[in-house]
Amino acid sequence: MTRVRIAPSPTGIPHIGNTRTALFNYLFAKRTKGKFIVRIEDTDQARIFPGAKETIFEILNWLGILWDEEYIQSERKNIYKEYVKGLLKKGLAYEEERAVRFKVPADQEVSWIDIVGNKKISFKTNVIEDFVIFKSDGFPTYHLANVVDDYLMNISHVIRGDEWISSTPKHILLYQAFGWKPARFAHLPNILGPDKTKLSKRHGAKSILDYRKKGYLKEALINFMALLGWNPGGEKEIMDLAEMIKLFDLKDINTASPIFDLKKLDWMNGEYIRKSQISNLRSQIYEFFDKKYPIAMVEKTVPLIQDRVKKLSEYKDLCEFFFKDPEKYEIDLSGKKEMLIKVLKSLKDVKDWDAVNIGENMQKTASNLGIKNSDFFMALRVVVTGKKISPPLNESLEILGKEKTLKRIKKAF
């Protein structure tokens, strides 16, 4: 049976690259009807970041990348101690200043066929120094705990970032020292920024929770991450999780480093917003703004902006005028008093307050005043919303209501 794992260290908050690795492991497990395991590698106790472990699980839970088994390495340190004793007894490790080192054999070649690119990778042991496997604080190092756990947990495939390639020969040597068959390795090319340098915070190497705070949907983030290095063939780019599971294959992972493109993420998120049912989008916006806006009004206004926004956060800029009077105007309204008095009088006469009647009334008023439609409706838009860009004006006035509309027009002169 396929058994894969992610092994995050709680020494910091996982960024989008770490989460992509988790997603690929999850997709492979589900595609092969295997198991997906989360193992918190917290043996470096001095560098543990408060709240990091909880954040790792929060990210996975929110995205729906659900795990089958969970382990914490610090709870297993007595297990590692026994395996270190075995290596010391065989003369394959030695103690040095209360830390135990693995004795690297000389003049050997360590190699494996990496699944990504189906390529052979080789290292000479002469370039690998004896490395620490057990520390004086009673905890194993990453190398030992990683190999022992992968063996004991029957991990069949180790899918991780290619920054771990240089560690892999050490792991294979440990497998050999214990007399175990190594897992198969698949090293994912690292994600690069638009300038083709290592992805950093200035490019977008943030936590998934940072993207959630900015108004990105989890479905769009999963879709976007999946295509950072994986291509199932064809032109289709919008896929749900079930479709990704059906198509996912490690052989389709590119050997070239993918480029993180924030514009593509924005586009993709916008596509998911446009595909959303109104009821879902209403709930997502309502929750995103911590239930600040009345849900009934959110539901009325969502259809006006669904085709215009790329992130949930953009709802506020477009729709806040529905909930509070504008505090300033984006164009100078001085000299518009006469026009606004006529508009106020004309709108007072509208009996059936709906978008069609409002629009016809305003067209007639603009014509009577001899004002170009573009100038007339821009001024009216700014009077009511405060902004030059807003949802469709007539529909907005219908939702805002007659009383509030007239009050705002009066306030502007």
Contact call for residues 166 and 146 (beta carbons, < 8 A): no
Beta strands, E only, 90-200: 93-96, 99-102, 109-114, 119-124, 131-134, 157-161, 184-188
CA distance 100 to 85: 10
What is the C-alpha separation between 269 and 406, in angstroms, rounded?
37
Residue 337 annotated as catalytic: no
Task: Fill in the amino acid letter for 161.
Answer: G
Element (H, E) at 273: helix 262-275
CA–CA separation, 387 and 322 (whole Å): 12
CA-CA distance, 160 to 157, in Å (whole number)?
10
The active-site residue, picked from 201, 246, 291, 292, is 201
End-to-end CA distance of the chain: 75
Largest CA distance in the chain: 100
Helices (H), 105-217: 142-152, 168-178, 208-213
Distance, CA of 187 to CA of 141 (rounded, Å): 21
Contact 87, 93 (CB under 8 A): yes
Cβ-based neighbour number of residue 228 at 10 Å: 24
97 CB contacts (<8 Å, ≥6 apart)? Answer: 136
Q: Which of 308, 289, 322 is nearest to 399 (CA)?
A: 322
Reference 3, options 51, 61, 52, 67; nearest CA is 67
254: region left, alpha or beta (phi > 0 left; psi from -120 to 50 alpha): beta
CB 386 within 8 A of CB 333: no
Distance CA 15, CA 167 (A): 21
Residue 236: how many other CB atoms lie within 10 Å:
9
C-alpha–C-alpha distance, residues 335 and 16, integer Å:
52
Q: What are the catalytic residues? A: 201
